[in-house]
Structure 1
Amino acid sequence: MPETPCPAPDEQTCWLPRHPKSARAARQELHAFLHSHPSREHLLPTGELLLSELVTNAVTHTRTPRDRLIFVRLQLSSPTTLRIEVHDADSEKPSLRHPASPTSETGRGLFLVQELAQSWGCCPRRGGIGKFIWCHITAPAAEAAA
């Protein structure tokens, strides 16, 4: 009996420590998730950047004990739309700042998310502990089919 290839999953999740290297681990998860997806080349560059920014924000700005983990959910909500969620245990919503000065080393994360994502937001987590930031990245339909 010939083997048929398994379809690519439409969702992948992982838990990451609150550590500076977690953004890299999240990007690796994204690469694995989109490995064989037809829209990979269109979703991956922006997906990597925004996922890195959201994970870095959760590592840097979350006011919780260091042993709390970050939960990441990657989901294909359509063939050309990637949904990214980054959950943390801090219930305080992030604040969007105007672009930082050219010499500042921080302050651009959510501004990049706002500028590059089709949509984004912040929601409380179920159970009342923490929040998650989500964003949607969409590949152009004509280019994704190519």
Structure 2
Amino acid sequence: MRFTSTPRGARLARRLVSHRLHAWGHPYASPANETVTLITAELTANAVRHGHVPGRDVGLRLTQTGGALRVEVTDTRAEKLPNRGTPCPVGESGRGLLLVDVLADTWGVAPRQSTPGKTVWAELRLPAPGATA
């Protein structure tokens, strides 16, 4: 799906992911729903804040394959790569990707294939059916 590259677009993307996960059998209050929704919130907020190009949308893709949920957020600013460094301890921002790093089992950045930009993705492995955490 595509969303405007605005805070409202990021908020709508986050809500859509939560609703879609619920429809796929991951209830709103479940760890999978809450974790992937938070990851989506961070990735879309970063895309809007750092990847914004006027008139260009943010792309969102959510997939469930095998035992994993994957969220992909695409923007059109290929030159603005996520900073994997340590945030300033007294800064007011810069901790979003630190959260993604802790919550996701794996995440990364890939260039877009046919148009300028990048896709930041994150995956969360799901426990096997019947497994207890």
Q: Same fold (TM over 0.5)?
A: yes
For residues 63 and 35 of structure 1, the distance between their equivalents in structure 2, rounded to whole angstroms, comes to 29
Residues 15 and 128 of structure 1: CA distance in aligned 2, closer, same or farther (over 3 Å):
closer
For residues 70 and 48 of structure 2, the distance between their equivalents in structure 1, rounded to whole angstroms, comes to 20
The SS at the match of 1:91 is coil
Letter in 2 for 1:55: T
TM-score by length of 2: 0.86
Are 2:52 and 2:75, in contact at CA under 8 Å, matched by a contact in 1? no
For residues 69 and 127 of structure 1, the distance between their equivalents in structure 2, rounded to whole angstroms, comes to 16
TM-score by length of 1: 0.79
Report the equivalent of 1:67.
Answer: 55
Residues 35 and 97 of structure 1: CA distance in aligned 2, closer, same or farther (over 3 Å):
same
Tell me, yes or no, if structure 1 residue 90 matches structure 2 residue 77.
yes
Report the equivalent of 1:107.
Answer: 94
CA RMSD across the alignment: 1.8
Tell me, yes or no, if structure 1 residue 58 matches structure 2 residue 47.
yes
After TM superposition, the runs of 4+ consecutive aligned structure 1 residues lying more than 6 A away are none
For residues 37 and 16 of structure 1, the distance between their equivalents in structure 2, rounded to whole angstroms, comes to 21
Larger Rg: 1
Unaligned ranges ≥5, structure 1: 1-13
Identity over aligned residues, as a percent?
36
Report the equivalent of 1:42.
Answer: 31
Cα distance, 1:21 vs. partner?
Answer: 1.6
Map Cα deviations across residues 117-143 of structure 1 (whole Å, 9 max, x no partner): 000110000114100000001232214
Report the equivalent of 2:126.
Answer: 139
**Count of residues in Structure 1 that have an aligned counterpart in Structure 2:** 128
Map Cα deviations across residues 24-49 of structure 1 (whole Å, 9 max, x no partner): 20122112211233344231111111
For residues 21 and 97 of structure 1, the distance between their equivalents in structure 2, rounded to whole angstroms, comes to 28
Letter in 2 for 1:46: T
Letter in 2 for 1:67: G
Unaligned ranges ≥5, structure 2: none
Cα distance, 1:63 vs. partner?
Answer: 5.3
For residues 137 and 63 of structure 1, the distance between their equivalents in structure 2, rounded to whole angstroms, comes to 26
The SS at the match of 1:25 is helix
